[in-house]
Structure 1
């Protein structure tokens, strides 16, 4: 990655308690409401923990795509979940916590990586990305949210939209030799799936 320059709800019967109930009844685990913890995404290949952050003047990045984006999401957009590997950037005043994934294809009879995808959560805001890349970026909508898309040379494209910690940063790179594919032409479909999975985290 380039460096940044800057369910089914159970219906419970209602039981009317007699007026002689004491306050201790409220603490009975059988009579109180329960809290449901969201299930963690299924991930077959584990990675190491995110590195220590510094973030002078900013809040830490809390959402980690390496553990927060499941294998089913990665497979849905055509990448190999087993290629999951950590791809972080830690600087004095901002951080990117991310994961990268490969997509394999056959080129001249040889199986090789043809595309690479990096998904990061960063504490840089979408407005900061707009200011930095405004002249080279295109504004689009991702699941009804503003996003910006901008190329990074002929074989790589970035998309940023609002995320859990500031912005969700997605990079698509074409590594197949002699490919005529335009990465910015395909990144929106990928981002729609990824952002939908991350939304609300």
Structure 2
């Protein structure tokens, strides 16, 4: 199976991974493409900090020793192979205590069906707002499509100071399931005005506010289940990290 070159991968993403991300609890309204993140253009949203923006190909996802962050180090004995920088502006532990980048282990990411080796800071982190903080990481999903390794979706895991009530009480969000996740109050929702319906979200009550989990899908990626068909399963896999 041939692996794509960076140019082939970016062209594939540009044509297939357009994502509508309006008014997520951690983001301002905007329409973006995942190709923008891959190409490292200015962050997904106005006012949000920028990540390195490069979606690694399978060959660049090799394990690297994790560097302990002075603000949110991995727990002793944790299994995280890829190093990421700490959140900006001393957001952890200055504003929130739980940083998914350092607390959600590789085994959970792999169990959810995503590439743990693609761990990177989410480009829509919010660390400098006086009333809201959102920090976390993005992970990518690949599949063999007609003998080619293709990027088919993404997983965002964010700690947010937004509360569950901020989600359930906002008419911009369509709550489709409010059953608990891993024993915690939760809501599964999507954007009311999201045209492409290529993303689905879970908000789980957490000490900092909520743990926000988003599953994004390439519109043409037939091999990947619809986001709202898999978000609960993914969230149930990730949520136990809150108890670690």
Report the TM-score when normalising by structure 1. 0.73
Question: 2:156 is matched with which residue: 89, 104, 118?
Answer: 118
1:92-126 Cα offsets, whole Å, 9 max, x none, are 32011110101100223321111200000011111
1-structure distance, mates of 2:173, 2:106: 35
Question: 1:164 is matched with which residue: 194, 200, 207?
Answer: 207
8 Å CA contact 1:53–1:95 kept in 2: the answer is no
Structure ID, larger Rg:
1
> Gapped runs of 5+ residues in structure 2?
1-20, 30-74
* 2:200 matches 1:194: no
Count of aligned residue pairs for this structure pair = 164
CA RMSD of aligned residues (A): 2.3
Q: Identify if the C-alpha distance between structure 1 residues 95 and 191 changes in structure 2 by more than 3 Å, giving closer, same or farther.
A: same
1-structure distance, mates of 2:175, 2:150: 31
8 Å CA contact 2:132–2:161 kept in 1: the answer is yes
8 Å CA contact 2:135–2:158 kept in 1: the answer is yes
| 1:83-122 matched pairs, under 5 angstroms | 83-87=118-122, 88-90=125-127, 91-122=129-160
Deviation >4 Å, runs of 4+: none
> Gapped runs of 5+ residues in structure 1?
6-37
Instruction: Give the superposition deviation at 1:81.
Output: 0.8
2-structure distance, mates of 1:40, 1:168: 23
8 Å CA contact 1:121–1:164 kept in 2: the answer is no
Normalized per residue, the structure richer in helix is 2
Q: Which has the higher contact order (CA 8 A, sep 6+)?
A: 2
Report the TM-score when normalising by structure 2. 0.61
Instruction: Give the superposition deviation at 1:73.
Output: 1.1
8 Å CA contact 1:133–1:150 kept in 2: the answer is no
1-structure distance, mates of 2:201, 2:170: 13
